[in-house]
Amino acid sequence: MREQYRTAEFLEADLAAGPMEQFARWFKEAACGPAIHEPNAMIVSTATPGGRPSSRMVLLKHYDERGFVFFTNYGSRKGVELESNPYVSLLFPWHPMARQVIVSGTATRVGRDETAAYFRTRPHGSQLGAWASEQSSVIASRAELLARYEELAARYPEGEQVPVPPHWGGFLVVPETVEFWQGHENRLHDRLRYVREGEGGGEGGGKRWRVERLAP
């Protein structure tokens, strides 16, 4: 199975000054078009201190000059791995546009105020679900999960405020590299990567970035 990508060239002159501005450009294009159902769906890859990796799909909930934010149960596999090994990779697989964005960086917990502010925007059922599911733990059956949910639904009916779970919250991924991948025919893809060079003037609280072109 093979497909020829026929897209316009993606050149250094097309890039924004910093990776988060460039991400905003591509994200807007992905979100505005009909081809990609969930442009904020990303693959989050973590690893144990011993180097055993794991990956899963997670929804990006916010991005700004700091980096990328997603939310999870801190007791989940990814939450536990990030606590012991903060190095993380994100991948946005925008296949219908023949594009990928690949991020490598480090993850830190966001503040509880930021977590609470986002939690309040979630649908009531999703708030209950954050309490009902001990994410990544072994359970006996789906019935057990639904029983937990129904118990919580009775305790916190629709319209009543659900407390923010202490074991649930956000991670901020601060990028060290951000690669923008544009597919082309004959596998001669454009791969432009921002690499953080330390502190100084520029986007992201004083970060400086250099741009590298990678062979496809």
As annotated, the active-site residues are 187
DSSP secondary structure letter of residue 18:
S
Q: For residue 99, count other CB atoms closer than 10 A to its CB.
A: 22
Q: What is the DSSP string of 93-151?
A: EEGGGTEEEEEEEEEEEPPHHHHHHHHTTS-HHHHHHHHH--TTS--S-HHHHHHHHHH
Between CA 102 and CA 112, with CA 106 as vertex, the angle to 5 degrees is 115
What backbone phi and psi angles, to 5 degrees, belong to 68? -120, 135
**Nearest to 27, CA basis, from 88, 90, 71:** 90
Residue 20's identity, in one-letter code, is M
Q: Output the CA–CA distances (angstroms, integers) from residue 191 to 15, 101, 210, in the order listed.
A: 12, 10, 14
Structure tokens, 4? 């020829």
26: left (phi over 0), alpha (psi -120 to 50) or beta: alpha
